[in-house]
Structures are given as C-alpha cells and as structure tokens.
C-alpha cells in the first residue's frame, strides 16, 4: 500500500541510529536515498548496505549545521539524482545540562545541529520541491519538544523550536504543494541514548529499564520511528501537514 518508487529522499544524521533506520525503511519502499552525516565510515557502510539491496543510494559527508556543507551536499545530490522529493531532518545531538551549567559554546552547538540545520536544508530544498510540483519535509523532534525535561535546557529549546517551526513551515508552503510534518520520538535505543545516559552518570541498562516504564512497556527502536516517517512520506498522508506525530509507546500520555 505504501510505495515511494520514483522518489528520492534525503536523510540527515543517516549514518546510525534513527537516521539509518529511516534511510533503510524508505529504501525498502522504493525511494532512492541521499545520506548526510559527519560520520563518513558508517555513512559509507549504510550506502553500501542499501545499494546491495538494489536501491540507488549516495552518502555525502556533511556538517548539517554549516551552510557551505549543506549547499555542497544539496548541489551534489541534485546533480547525481536529479531531484529530491522527501527531506527528513533527523540529525541531532543532546547535552544534559541546565542553563546555568551550559557554556555558550554548548548552547550554540545544540541549537546549530538540532534547529539551524532544518532551516539550512529546507531553505535550499523547498524551492526545488515547489519547482517540481511538490514534496514533503519531515522534521524529527522529541517528546521533550512538547513537554520539558530535567537538565536538558538547550535540547528542549531546540526540539520545541523544531515542533513550532514545523507548523510555521506547513502554513507557508501548503499552497505550494509541500507538506511539512514532525515526528516526536520517545526514548529510542541508539548510540545517542547511550551517550545521554553517560552524560548524567547512569548505568545504561538501568536507564533503559526506567525508560521502559510507559503504557507500551519498552523503549523504542529506530524502526518504530521509521514507520511513521514512511507513512508521512507517502500518498497515504496526502492531506496531512503541520501535524506532530508522537511515537513513544504512550510515554507522554
């Protein structure tokens, strides 16, 4: 029922975790895949894996918080694929500190990767989508973009920005044929979650056990988030824009 044949999707933070899961799932549905990440080793491995399944894929090393990197990656990928129909802004970092503890450099880094990157890539690709007759953008937010969390001031600020930027973009570009939605995951078992546990000095297994205390009693996996992204990328979501999809096993509930 869901096919992305003939589409090209660009996924940021695609070398691991949720981003790699999204790239795999969209490729399974028939989309060609552009992979952006600063991790060239893992990014090239994901490219090879997707290509081995018979799907076209290309990795570009890119710091998504830097305008020149984004412009080069977009230019190169458009030359290679000819079009980009789906943009998944997934790249993200976390810093578990309060505003008192955060340095200005740490604040800037989190906001640059988590929020500015959405602006940079959307600024470059939405005009291309409009010219091609439409497209869709899916921004990966967080449950902590909807409610606050302890000792994560920059992260919560950035993800709250992702949620409301999604709504603003949807209002601006709906009449131009571009749908923009947001997926907000709960705790997903990735390297980023392990890094978060380390930042707050928690044993990872204990951290996962506590995170499983929700109506659907487990932490998420990248495929859970990827399924929501696949749906929003497809024609089944043709009348959905400006929406915030929570994928968290009922944690916010």
d(CA 13, CA 32): 16
Q: Tell me phi and psi for residue 88, to 5 degrees.
A: -115, 105
Helix axes 17-28, 40-52, angle to 10 degrees: 20
Contact indicator for 84, 134 with CB cutoff of 8 Å? no
The structure tokens listed for 245 are 């999809």
Q: Which of 60, 80, 119, 155 is catalytic?
A: 155
Q: What 8-state DSSP symbol labels residue 188?
A: B
Q: Which of 184, 186, 185, 172 shows the shortest CA–CA distance to 241?
A: 172
Active site residue 80: no
The catalytic residues are 155
């Amino acid at each position: 029922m869901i096919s992305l044949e003939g589409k090209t999707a660009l996924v940021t933070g695609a070398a691991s975790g949720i981003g790699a899961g999204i790239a795999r799932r969209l490729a399974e549905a028939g989309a060609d895949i552009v992979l952006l990440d600063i991790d060239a080793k893992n990014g090239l491995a994901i490219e090879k894996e997707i290509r081995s399944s018979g799907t076209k894929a290309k990795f570009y090393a890119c710091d998504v918080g830097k305008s020149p990197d984004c412009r080069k990656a977009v230019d190169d990928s458009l030359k290679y694929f000819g079009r980009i129909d789906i943009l998944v802004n997934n790249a993200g970092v976390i810093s578990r500190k309060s505003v008192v503890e955060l340095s200005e450099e740490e604040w800037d880094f989190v906001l640059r990767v988590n929020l500015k990157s959405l602006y940079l890539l959307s600024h470059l690709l939405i005009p291309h989508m409009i010219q091609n007759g439409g497209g869709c953008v899916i921004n990966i937010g967080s449950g902590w973009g909807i409610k606050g969390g302890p000792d994560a001031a920059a992260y919560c600020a950035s993800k709250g920005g992702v949620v409301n930027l999604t709504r603003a973009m949807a209002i601006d570009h709906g009449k131009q044929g571009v749908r923009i939605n947001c997926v907000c995951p709960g705790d997903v078992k990735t390297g980023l979650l392990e890094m978060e546990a380390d930042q707050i000095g928690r044993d990872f297994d204990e951290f996962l056990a506590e995170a499983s205390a929700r109506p659907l009693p487990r932490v998420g996996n990248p495929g859970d988030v990827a399924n929501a992204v696949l749906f929003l990328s497809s024609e089944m979501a043709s009348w959905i824009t400006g929406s915030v999809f929570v994928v968290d096993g009922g944690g916010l509930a």
